[in-house]
Chains A and B, each alone.
Chain A
Amino acid sequence: MAPDRTTGRSARWVSTFGTWDVLVIVVLALVVVGSSVLVEGFATARFWGFLLLDIVPIALIALPMTLIVITGEIDLSVASTLGLASAVLGQLWVSGLPLVLAVPLVVLLGALLGAVNGLFVAGFGLPSLAVTIGTLALYRGLAYVVLGDRAVADFPIGWTGNSIEALPGTTVPWVVLPLAVLAIGFGVLLHATPVGRGLYAMGNNDQAATFSGIAVARTKFWLYVVTGAIAALAGVFWTMRYASARADNGAGLELSVVAAVLLGGVSIFGGRGTLVGVLAGVLLLMTLRNALQLADVPADTLTVVTGTLLIVSVVGPNAAGMLRARMRRRRPAAPPVAGAEGA
């Protein structure tokens, strides 16, 4: 795919993605205010409790996905990892393993599935898009092999009930707390450590990053491992929340996650984006969806909203950038620039 921006424009792009974060947050605020006025039942604690429960798995997976996309790679297998983790968890429980043991095992399995992705992408240097489309099919297929079309639903109420428990005195689910801790952890890693700077460097130019001493392959490998483990963790939460382990749990979720990440201002070519933007993107996507659902828009047609948001989020900055580039080019004697995405 065409590389993104030439380095000469990077300073302008820094300011652009800064404003993109702000824009997403402003739109989010508008949606919240608008829905509170227009949609009955939106401005209730109950609605927000449910909304947060819907947000948790997507936000959880979006955290490591942000890092992966910033390095210029992608992982489309996350939802299948979630499904396989859910299926295996169900099977382990049916065969009599206590959940205290089964859950860590499943998270370990997720890390292993991520390591397979990492091996193919970082180890063999294969394109991550193709690899993870392959493992998307493979892991989902294995989930069906494990559980078929059965569902395991007899988990102890202590686990299923607890998973959606709210913090005392509120409707805010307690799982938001560990999510917040993880989000802060990822935010610090990405924005305040050499490792994080390295991720941006890889996304901008793999080779230059290698020559400046960044362990590109190793970092990418571990990113995939972490992504797998977190996707499995999301699978555990999914299973407990709906009290049902099924092979098709979370099918198609990878699209929502990628949509949220891109909506949050991360460039699909890598090297650009912030974690705050992504979290705002997740919130915007899910709030808008749930608000429309509350307003009796059929769930199936809501996919139009997701798709349009995704396209607008990428066309918007691109068009603005091209417009500005054209205006700038008009002033000095125009050099023959090949175009906004020239090599």
Chain B
Amino acid sequence: MTTTTRPGAGPDAAEVRARSGAAGMRLGHRLFVAREVGIGLALVLLVGVTTAVNPRFLSGQGRQDLMLGATILVVLAVGQAIVIITRNVDLSVGSILGLAAFATGKLFLAMPDAPIVLAVLVGTGLGVLCGVVNGALIAVARVPALVVTLGTLYVFRGIDYSWAAGQQINAADMPSGFKSMGTADLLGIPLLALFAVAVLLVAGFYLKSYRSGRELYAIGSDPAAARLHGIPVGWRVFGALVVSGGLAGLAGVLYAARYGTLDAAAGTGIELNVVAAVVVGGVAIFGGSGSVYGAALGAVLLSTIGSALPVLKVNPFWQQAVVGALILAAIGLDRALAARVANRLRGRKARGA
């Protein structure tokens, strides 16, 4: 039917047919790699065109801004991807970020000499705590993640507001050591961006190479089958939510380091961009497929669009509309690709019969 140029197919067609299930998975895998390459190309194209219009876009400062801008979204997207792969969702990340960012500010107000490591621990720990609440409600009380995290989106933000009580923490109150973390760089790469890269690599390695990481995919593909297979579904989902919470807390610390000026509204509405980044990055909204690398690329693409629009003299008010259109395009494309894979597999089976 179709001429497949799959490198792994080899000449032994009979064996391929016999293992068409595995071949299908490989085909599926190849499409996801294609997806990541596709986003990468779109990113290169966007940066290329924008730089052609205004060369300063990729100047030293421009590069720094681009990477810094993507950092927080990438960290959040990694956590969100892990959750969405298990067929759940975490809408409370924006509120957790806000809570952790404000806690970081409060910490430095109380103890100006606190080491940065302590701030990272406190912020991440707070995020983990929020994640435990989410995870327990989802895994133990068996309430859908969408509802739980929609609820905790409100609750965590409300706690943040009542704690802040209108207070705003100014950059001037933050110790310079912490603020310099927001601007420091290593070989031209901002320190904060390195945090994000480290998080991404660890998460990517875990999901690919650890048994429990693979189990997250199994849960997302078919929760009931995963349970019958003996996978501790509840614990895994609980773990995913805790990781997502912890990463959102870490993102809060990074937010505090980058902006310095903090109030209770930090990160409001960012969950939308995070889910958008993950979906654009090729993680299926109903779980079971995708990678954190794709999600991270999606996050970089979204934040770069935000920086590129003004340079391209496009009304910046278009940004949100573009994000929306991208989500629709991404899920539409996913569906079209899935239909093609199904077709090809059917074709292969038909030839075998």
Assembled-state Cα–Cα distance A134/B329 (Å): 9
A308 to chain B: closest residue by CB = B155
Contact at A129–B285, with CB atoms within 8 Å? yes
Q: Is B172 an interface residue (CB 8 A)?
A: no
Is the CB–CB distance between B162 and A301 below 8 Å? yes
Contact of A134 among B165, B315, B324 (CB under 8 A): B324
Comparing A16-24, A119-127, A169-177, the segment that makes contact with chain B is A119-127
Whether B158 pairs with A300 at a CB distance below 8 angstroms is yes
| Residues from chain B with Cβ under 8 Å of A125 in the complex | 335
Say whether A131 contacts B158, CB under 8 Å.
no
Write the chain B residue with the least CB distance to A140. B320
Nearest chain B residue, comparing its CB with the CB of A252: B269
Known: A126-B335, A145-B315, A301-B158. A318 touches B279 (CB 8 A): no
Of A60-68, A200-208, A211-219, A334-342, the stretch lying at the interface with chain B is A334-342
Q: Could you tell me the distance in whole angstroms from the C-beta of B305 to the nearest C-beta in chain A?
A: 12
Chain A proximity mask over B321-345: 1 for CB below 8 Å, otherwise 0? 1111111100110010000000000
Contact of A141 among B141, B165, B317 (CB under 8 A): B317
The answer to whether the Cβ of B48 comes within 8 Å of any Cβ in the partner chain is no
Pairwise interchain contact B264-A141, C-beta atoms closer than 8 A: no
A262 within 8 A of B: yes
Inter-subunit contact A307/B153 (CB<8 Å)? yes
* Shortest beta-carbon distance from B126 to chain A in Å: 17
Complex Cα distance, B297 from A314, in Å, reads: 35
Does B151 interact with chain A (Cβ within 8 Å)?
A: yes
Is A26 at the interface (CB under 8 A from chain B)?
no
B: number of interface residues (CB 8 Å): 51
**How far is the CB of A272 from the nearest CB of chain B, in Å?**
13
Tell me if A124 and B285 are in contact (CB < 8 A).
no
- Whether A141 lies near B323 (C-beta < 8 A) is yes
Closest Cβ–Cβ distance, residue A90 to chain B (whole Å): 15
Contact A301 B161 (CB under 8 A): yes
Interface residues of A, CB < 8 Å — how many? 54
* A134 and B327 in contact, given A127-B286, A311-B155 (Cβ under 8 angstroms): yes
CB contact between B146 and one of A120, A129, A137, A319 (< 8 Å): that residue: A129
Chain A residues whose C-beta falls within 8 Å of the C-beta of B321 in the assembled complex? 137-138, 141-142, 144-145
Pairwise interchain contact B272-A302, C-beta atoms closer than 8 A: no
* Minimum Cβ distance to chain A for residue B310 (Å): 14
Indicate if the CB atoms of B150 and A259 lie closer than 8 Å: yes
Option from B143, B151, B331 in Cβ contact (under 8 Å) with A131: B331
Give the interface SS of chain B, mostly helix, strand, loop or mixed: helix
What residues of chain A lie closer than 8 Å to B264, measured between beta carbons? 300
Tell me, yes or no, whether B205 is within 8 Å of chain A by CB.
Answer: no
Question: Which of B87, B155, B165, B324: most chain A Cβ within 10 A?
Answer: B324
Which of chain B's residues have a CB closer than 8 A to the CB of A137? 272, 276, 320-321, 323-324, 327
List, in ascending order, chain B residues with CB within 8 A of A301's CB.
158, 161-162
Contact B227 A338 (CB under 8 A): yes
**Which residues on the A side are within 8 Å of B100 (C-beta)?**
none
- Please provide the chain A residues from 105 to 161 with a CB less than 8 Å away from any CB of chain B in the complex: 120, 124-127, 129-131, 133-142, 144-145, 148
Q: Is the interface of A mostly helix, strand, loop or mixed?
A: helix
B1 at the interface (CB under 8 A from A): no
Cβ-based interface call for A195 (8 A): no
B223 interface contact, C-beta 8 A: yes
B202 in the interface, Cβ–Cβ < 8 Å? no
Cα distance, A145 to B309, chains bound together (Å): 13
Q: In the complex, what's the smallest C-beta–C-beta distance from A191 to chain B, in angstroms?
A: 24
A183–B96 alpha-carbon span in the complex (Å)? 37
Asked if A298 is at the interface (CB within 8 A of a chain B CB), the reply is yes
**Residues from chain A with Cβ under 8 Å of B319 in the complex:** 141
Taking a contact as CB atoms closer than 8 A, the residue among A130, A300, A308 that contacts B162 in the complex is A300
B147 within 8 A of A: yes
A301-343 to B contact mask, C-beta < 8 Å, 1/0: 1111111101100110011001000000000000000111111
By the criterion CB–CB under 8 Å, are A303 and B155 in contact? yes
- Would B150 and A258 count as touching, CB distance under 8 A? yes
Could you list some 25 contacts between A and B, CB below 8 A?
A1-B146, A2-B223, A124-B332, A124-B335, A126-B331, A133-B272, A134-B279, A136-B324, A137-B276, A137-B320, A144-B318, A144-B320, A258-B150, A259-B154, A268-B147, A304-B155, A307-B155, A310-B147, A310-B154, A311-B143, A311-B147, A314-B147, A318-B142, A338-B228, A342-B227
Residues of B within 8 A of A (CB): 87, 89, 137, 141-144, 146-148, 150-159, 161-162, 165, 223-224, 227-228, 264, 269, 272, 275-276, 279, 285-286, 315, 317-328, 331-332, 335
Excluding A133-B272, A133-B327, A141-B322, 19 further A-B contacts by CB distance (< 8 Å) are: A127-B331, A129-B285, A136-B324, A137-B323, A137-B324, A138-B321, A139-B324, A141-B320, A141-B324, A148-B317, A268-B147, A304-B154, A304-B158, A308-B155, A310-B150, A311-B143, A338-B224, A338-B227, A339-B142
